[in-house]
Structure 1
Amino acid sequence: MQKEGKVVPLAAAIDRGGRMPLPCLPVLLLQVRDKAALQLRQGLQDLFDNADDTLFEMADKALDRCDQNLYFEAMRDLRLKRKSIERGFLDIFYDTFARIGQVDLLAHLADAGKPRSKAQVERAVAVEGMVGRVLSRDGIALQQLVLRLQVLLDRPLYEQHNPLGPAALCDYFLDAGRNLGVGLRVKLVLLKLFERYVLRDADIIYNQANQLLRAAGVLAELPLPPRRRAEDRRMRARRGPVTKGQAPDADATGQACFNALQTLLAPVRGQFAPRLHSATSVQPVSTADLLRLLSHLQRYVPATHQADDFDLGQQLEQLLLRVSVRSGTHRRIASADEDMLNLVGRLFAFIERDDNLPASLRPLLARLHIPLLKVALLDKGLFSRASHPARRLLNEIATAAMGWECGSKGLRDSLHLKVERIVQRLLNDFAEDASLFAELLDDFVAFNQDERRRNELLEQRTRDAELGRARALQARQQVQQVLNQRLRGRLLPQVVVQMLVQTWSQVLLLAWLKQGEASRAWREALQTMDTLLVSVTPPQDPQALLQQVPSLLKALRDGLTSVALDSLATREFFLQLEQLHLRACATSSELPPGGQRQRLSDVLVAEDIVLAIAEEPACAPLQVADAQAAALQQVQRLRIGTWFEVLDEAEPQRCKLVARIDSSDRLVFANRTGMKVHEWSAASLAQALQRGDLRVLDDGLLFERALEAVLDGLRRRQVQ
């Protein structure tokens, strides 16, 4: 019989805030629980560390503005509630463990007959798929754990009531996140992240628990469950450091990928052999020796501002020639290593001429040729794993720098200095330990997140300002329209026309902007204007006018107060309005004296009323020719976040599409910092694209684009 214990880790007790009573469980079971809690805590931390980036990428790719706002709000909500979700998850986990084996078998019947919403059904389907994948992968280890827990508890424990089962872990996460104010789509994304960062490591929890119980003699005769394949382990590892002086086992996928590439690279072999005609024998240089030669050359990579006279092929050839002369043996590079040299060389040749990259970035990235070549020689997984730290670092730098200014102004900003420091650090410190790339990647991602958030804030302000401007323009045009409908072509008192155009138009604008065209405030403002116009138009029935005047005066006074009209001007207007009402009810013999008659003269509104500061779209819509139809379709398909390069200026300028204002047919562009720099209408942008005044940049991942271009070139060469 195991001893009972109430000892729990201090960290766990703090997390639960002392709210839960300590369970009276066997010590072995407490140890299983605490080891599992540590692993789950780490998985949750990884989940939330990566959730921000995932949601931002989804917002960046979203075509609809509502979807973008949805993901941005989810990012904010997740940041605010992260700690409470982590704490709630562990609280539920501890509470379930405290009641292990004491579950009411009829409890599930209470919810069985309840109708479920569409969202609940979709969530249940997603969870079912996640649970199925864990069971197919780690089912044997989980079954052994259930058997051992039954022996330890001395009572049956069904798999669905196992607190460490995948279904239970999913339930903990869903329960802990109930107060998240996000929709179904975001919840499904979070479930996918939960699978990637928590359930992916479920085998660690099960194996640790099985090892602990097996060592204590609980069903020690059970055979060890099969371990996951080494490839799965490598894919799961956060980092894959390479021990200095020891090449790692090539991952099967990476080796297979490189083997396929060697067929394409075979025709270009023979470029790295020293010209020794008197050598009696040929001996290939080992990969370890080649790495040492590259490390020697790495120290002499010139700075970007120096003359570009450093050719890696020539430098290697000279070193091999020197080694061959000293040894008396013709030394050459092995075929596989030469293929890798050719492949990486072609990748960097593409990078150096890729005009999607800022001109100032290309020479910086070119200095990474030798470090990336050494990584490729050490780990061929560089070509098969998109998550490889060296590959990701190159992609992250290229993506972050997409909006760099090509002129001298962009050379000394914080991002440029950061990239310079990363490149120099790799040249100075990288020998054969690839974990340096992972360290620099983490550092750069953290730096870039801070900078990206600042830029996003400015972009959002630019968007809000442009949307506000468009809405104000739309409101002004609507007010102009209703004023012209009621005033144009009519003979009306000058004082009333002036008040409606100069002051009441502001009341209408305020009502439209604040509450919209369908609002009660807008309708009442229009009704007040119509009543005013009727009241000053003779002939009038005095009795009817007396009934209208009190409510009219009150509505006018309330409206003028809302736009803060000067009290003296308000008083003067009401005095004149009183005279107009008297005139409307009077006969010609009862008209006011001549001076007053002059003040109350009528005017013919002969032209359209144009309110002050009426703005037009920056680029008026143009007639679209048939030849421009394709360019216009391209413009209509553009997503928010697409990068452009403007070529019709003194220096090329890079800008990003940050807002599409449909109401005024405007596309707004900002620079990398989020400041507005250009705007076009859809038709004028299509014309500019067709003329070549600007071009769309390919902001796809750099390594992937380079590799695809190199392979296409090799295939064409092979066909020829």
Structure 2
Amino acid sequence: MSPTQQDPLHHPARDARLLALVRDAFLPPLGDAFAASVARYDDVLFDRAERAGGSQLLFLDGMRELRRRREEIVARFRARLGQAWEALEAGEPPSAEASLASQSTGLSLVAEHELESRLAVRNLASVMLRDCKAVLSRLDRRLGWIAGALQLDADRNPIGPEHIGVAVHEAFATCDLAPEVRLVLIKLCERDLAPAVAKLYEGLDQRLVREGVLPGAPAGPRPAPAAPRPERMAENAAAAAAGSYAGGYGGGWEEPAGGEDYSPAWAARFMQRWQDTRGAMQQHGFDGSAGEAPPPGGAALLDALHQLLQQSRGARGDVAQGAGGVPGGQADQRPLSHREMLSVLSLLQATPSPTLSAAISDDQESLSQRLKSEVLANARQLGVDPSSTRLDPKDEDAIDLVGMLFDVLLDERDLEGRPRELIGRLVVPFVKVALLDRRMFVQKTHPARRLLNALAEACEGNQGESAAERSLLAKVEEIIERLVTEFNENLAIFMTLEEEFRDFLEQHRRRVEVTERRAAEIQRGQERLEMARRRAEFEVASRLEDRALPQAVAEFLRNPWQHHITLALLREGEVGDTFTEALELADGILEEVDEAQRHIVGKPWLQNWQPGLRQVFASIGLHGDAADAAIGALHDTLQAVADARPELEKPLPELPEVALPQAAPVERNPVELVAGTDTLDFDHADAERIRGLPIGTWLDFIDKDGRVQPGKLTWVSPISSRLLFVNRRGVRFCVASPEELAVMVRMGRLRMHVADDGDAFDNAMQGVIERLDAVAPQQSATLH
């Protein structure tokens, strides 16, 4: 082993030479790359100003500020990274999260623009981390090793993306920039620095390997993914040239290379149940005796769904539709052709019928039944004889699946009023998609289902109660209106609209995250306030208990002094000088009260406590002569007690009304909780599981009417261990202890969130399968 190579079984001491090598190889080039980028940004801001409309002056001001403080910006960037590196060399690698939050002090809340800036640099860090994940995991080990076998991670690696994000944030922190200009600059840094940082990481990793630092860990970039099959590339090119997806509903099927796209959870479960029950997959080329479900997707999945639809159709009272919607089509009736079906659906798409709109609003009516009736009724407008036509079985399957999918989506998601109406307008376009490309049902990346997922996310629980929500609903309406107006048979429009809407939705999510953080900050402040109030009340009560105090002294302790120590606890905590001095002041005054009650004569009352008393009265807004008058009243009262002349006691003068911040209002329809954990009936195992939930976990809260509202765990109190949950808008709606939540679990009012990564389409399809199974007698046993 060479002298520089390390034995993984023995921890080395800090290697100053290698640390200096890493510092010189990384920090100066990164600082130079940042400086070169910032030097170009004034031109970028000038270009943005030309098309910024009403914000033009903000970008021009930002351009001038950037030119004026360019050197300071670069210096602050270098200094922050230098400080982080020095902490590593001292054996105490700093936390990026703590560094970013270190500017928050006292009672002040972080401004919204500051939160947005922090979110932007966190996003910058996440982009770099995603692109360099493999090499960073190696650098964490190697860098930690030469620093003395320290454990480094994303938060504590001083040259990692998180600390680079902190440096970018602090570089612009002192600049007088409009929030939108600051966010543009951070986004530009993300674009410009990410490639440079990736190259620096790779070079540094290889350099450390050459120096013999943990040579057993691999170095070098990850292997490139395998190239697509030539036939797949040819098919994609042909589809793109045609402006549509290849393969109509009645056409062929080919599994894509990305198997996970064709394996949603509901499909895997359904195919397993189907194989276990039917044993009929051999006709599709699968060995039913193997005991494993065939790959979900392809013709096998659609054929199995077709059989399940046929079995359940009779039980649902839903037989094949004949002329004019009359059940039981005759043998001499021909099925509507593919072209006729699309034409009828285009008519319904352009001019939705009142009966279909009513069915969307009525959660008791089957959309699939209504759709089939509407299709056959509107076929007259094409000159088709209704007495001689019926639905093709595969077309009927498409209508059934889409109709039931939207039934489940509208019933089980929080979609009421305007959001329900907007999502309902998508029914007819999605039936057309099902006729044109049946891959929509199994391909997670299909643009139609991606658009539906995004629109459902935007609409769920959105009643337009805030400006942001109303803006989001307006965008949803615009997207749906364009889809209904422009969609003919070219599925490319779904991709265009989905990309546009995702960009808009991402901005909305950022604002929701700001709201979440604000809710956590408010709750943290409220808990600190509650704790301070309780401690202040205890200190007052302990001094008033079993004591006969003059009225002025008792009022002093209950009002200005209690308010003063509450503020002291909030600002400095129990170890602060202000709180300690305030306790000494109260105890000193009470000692003088005891002396007065022993009728000691000639004592200069309160002489030693004048500065402390002025400080207390100043905290409630009493200064100068007013404070002197209040102190005088306390002095005269003590003198009257000492002289045994109670009639000479003086009350405190009228004091200003002071009030500490009140508890933040809870979102309407709050979750009902039962307090008093000592009397609650709950499973301690449930409470422990809840106590261990990671931040970001979603739970389903179920009200008395069975309605479900998802809640995201945003913050856990270090004071009370209570958990803060916010709704999809980032607004607080539940703060509860693990024990209270465990009671809700036992009552059936709380469960793990049933959604699968927010995929409304997949969850709705799972609901469709369950509904079909429930009404098909031969399939009901497979649910358990």
Shorter-chain TM-score: what band?
0.5 to 0.7
Tell me which residue corresponds to 1:263: 304
Equivalence for 1:382: 440
- Return the offset for 1:380: 3.5
**Pairing of 1:5-404 with structure 2 (within 5 A):** 76-77=117-118, 79-80=120-121, 115-119=148-152, 171-172=198-199, 174=201, 227-229=227-229, 243-244=243-244, 247=247, 250-253=253-256, 254=262, 256-269=297-310, 271=320, 279=332, 287=338, 290-302=341-353, 307-308=358-359, 311-317=370-376, 336-354=394-412, 356-404=414-462
Question: After superposition, what is the alpha-carbon deviation per residue over 1:291-335, rounded to whole angstroms, capped at 9, x for unaligned?
Answer: 44533443342369954499322344467799997899x877665
Q: Measured at CA, do residues 230 and 472 of structure 1 come closer, stay the same or move farther in structure 2, by a change above 3 Å?
A: farther
Kindly provide the CA deviation profile for residues 148-167 of structure 1, in whole angstroms up to 9, marking residues without a partner as x: xxxxxxxxxxxxxxxxxxx9
Q: 1:111 and 1:382 mapped to 2: Cα distance?
A: 48
2: distance between equivalents of 1:291 and 1:243?
17
Number of matched pairs? 539
Spell out, residue by residue over 1:203-235, the C-alpha distance to the aligned partner (whole angstroms, 9 max, x if none): 7xxxxxxxxxxxxxxxxxxxxxx8433799799
1:503-542 residue CA offsets vs partner (Å, 9 max, x unmatched): 2222211111111123332222112221222234228999
- Residue 353 of structure 2 aligns with an amino acid whose one-letter code is P
| Cα distance change on mapping 1:323 and 1:670 into 2, 3 Å | closer
Equivalent residue letter for 2:535: Q
Question: Residues 559 and 390 from structure 1, CA distance in 2 versus in 1: closer, same or farther, beyond 3 angstroms?
Answer: same
Is the CA contact (8 Å cut-off) linking 1:400 and 1:448 kept in structure 2? yes
Please state if 1:511 is matched with 2:538: no
Shift of residue 481, structure 1, vs aligned partner: 0.7
Matched to 1:429, the amino acid is E
Report the secondary structure of 1:498's partner residue.
helix
Q: Deviations over 1:37-69 (max 9, x none)?
A: xxxxxxxxxxxxxxxxxxxxxxxxxxxx99x99
Kept in 1, the 8 Å contact 2:308–2:772? The answer is: no
Q: Give the match for residue 621 of structure 1.
A: 675
Question: Residue 546 of structure 2 aligns with which residue?
Answer: 489
User: In terms of Rg, which structure is larger?
Assistant: 1
Contact 2:406-2:427 within 8 A present in 1 as well: yes
For 1:264, the aligned partner's letter is L
Which structure 2 residue ranges, 5 or more long, are not aligned?
1-33, 42-96, 103-111, 133-141, 161-193, 205-219, 257-261, 263-295, 311-318, 360-366, 653-657, 667-672
Offset, 1:705: 1.4
Moved more, 684-693 or 447-456: 684-693
Partner Cα distance (1:469, 1:123) in 2: 30
Cα distance, 1:482 vs structure 2: 0.9
Cα drift, residue 565 of structure 1: 2.2
Alpha-carbon distance between aligned partners in 1 of 2:683 and 2:711, rounded to the nearest angstrom: 23
User: Match for 1:474: what amino acid?
Assistant: M
* 1:368 to partner: Cα distance: 1.6
The residue identity in structure 2 corresponding to 1:403 is: G
Cα shift readout 1:65-99 (whole Å, capped 9, x = no counterpart): 99x999x9997446259899999x99x9xxxxxxx
2:476 to 416, 419, 433: 419
The answer for unaligned runs of 5 or more in structure 1 is 1-11, 20-64, 93-108, 128-166, 178-194, 204-225, 585-590, 604-610
Rate the CA distance shift 1:429–1:343 in 2: closer, same or farther, 3 A: same
- Cα-to-partner distance string for 1:443-499 (whole Å, 9 max, x where unaligned): 323333444445555555555445434432332221111111122112334433332
Gap change, CA 1:436 and 1:602, over 3 Å in 2: closer
For 1:74 and 1:231, locate their aligned partners in 2 and report how far apart those are by CA, in whole Å: 49
Find the counterpart in structure 2 of residue 719 from structure 1. Answer: 779
Alignment of 1:490-639 (within 5 A): 490-538=547-595, 552-575=609-632, 592=643, 598-600=647-649, 621-622=675-676
Q: Is the 8 A contact 2:408 2:768 kept in 1?
A: yes
Q: Distance in 2 between matches of 1:112 and 1:258?
A: 54
Task: For residue 482 of structure 1, give the secondary structure of its aligned residue in structure 2.
Answer: helix
1:4-34, CA deviations, whole angstroms, 9 ceiling, x for partnerless residues?
xxxxxxxx99869699xxxxxxxxxxxxxxx
- Give the CA deviation at 1:577: 5.5
TM-score by length of 1: 0.56
The 2-side partners of 1:268 and 1:84 are apart by 49
Q: CA deviation at 1:703?
A: 1.0
Return the alpha-carbon distance in structure 2 between the equivalents of residues 363 and 702 of structure 1.
17
Q: Give the distance between the partners of 2:616 and 2:732, measured in 1 at CA.
A: 36
The 2-side partners of 1:83 and 1:568 are apart by 56
Deviates more, 1:479-488 or 1:287-296: 287-296
Displacement of 1:286 after TM fit?
6.5
Following superposition, the deviation at residue 365 of structure 1 comes to 2.3
Of 284-293 and 389-398, more deviation after overlay is shown by 284-293
Structure 1 CA distance, aligned partners of 2:453 and 2:395?
A: 24
Measure, in 2, the Cα distance between the counterparts of 1:304 and 1:462: 44
Give distance in 2, aligned partners of 1:327 and 1:494: 95
- C-alpha distance 653-405 of structure 1, shift in aligned 2 (>3 A): farther
Secondary structure of 1:538's counterpart equals: helix
Report Cα offsets for 1:372-424 as digits up to 9, x if no partner: 223233333323332322112212222222223499x99x9444443333333
Q: Tell me which residue corresponds to 1:58.
A: none
Is the CA contact 1:476–1:614 (under 8 Å) kept in the aligned structure 2? Answer: no
- Larger relative contact order (Cα-Cα within 8 Å, sequence gap ≥ 6): 1
Instruction: Say yes or no: does 1:433 pair with 2:484.
Output: no
Looking at structure 2, the residues matched to 227 and 338 of structure 1 have their Cα atoms a distance apart, in angstroms, of 39
Kept after mapping to 1: 8 A contact 2:350/2:484: yes
Tell me how large the CA RMSD over aligned residues is.
6.3
Residue-by-residue CA offset, 1:575-609 (whole Å, 9 max, x unaligned)? 4565678789xxxxxx65x86x6334899xxxxxx
> Contact 2:414/2:461 (CA < 8 Å) preserved in 1?
no
Residue identity (%): 24
Distance in 2 separating the partners of 1:120 and 1:664: 29
Q: Which amino acid aligns with 2:152?
A: A
Q: Distance in 1 between matches of 2:35 and 2:518?
A: 44
Q: Report the Cα offset of residue 430 of structure 1.
A: 0.8
Letter in 2 for 1:386: K
CA distance, structure 2, for counterparts of residue 322 and residue 569 of structure 1 = 89
Paired residue type of 1:117: L
Measured at CA, do residues 537 and 453 of structure 1 come closer, stay the same or move farther in structure 2, by a change above 3 Å? Answer: same
Tell me if structure 1 keeps the 8 A contact 2:564–2:616: yes
Contact residue 689 and residue 695 of structure 1 kept, 8 A: yes
Is the CA contact (8 Å cut-off) linking 2:696 and 2:713 kept in structure 1? no
Counterpart-to-counterpart distance in 1, 2:736 and 2:396:
50
CA contact (8 A) 1:657 1:669 kept: yes
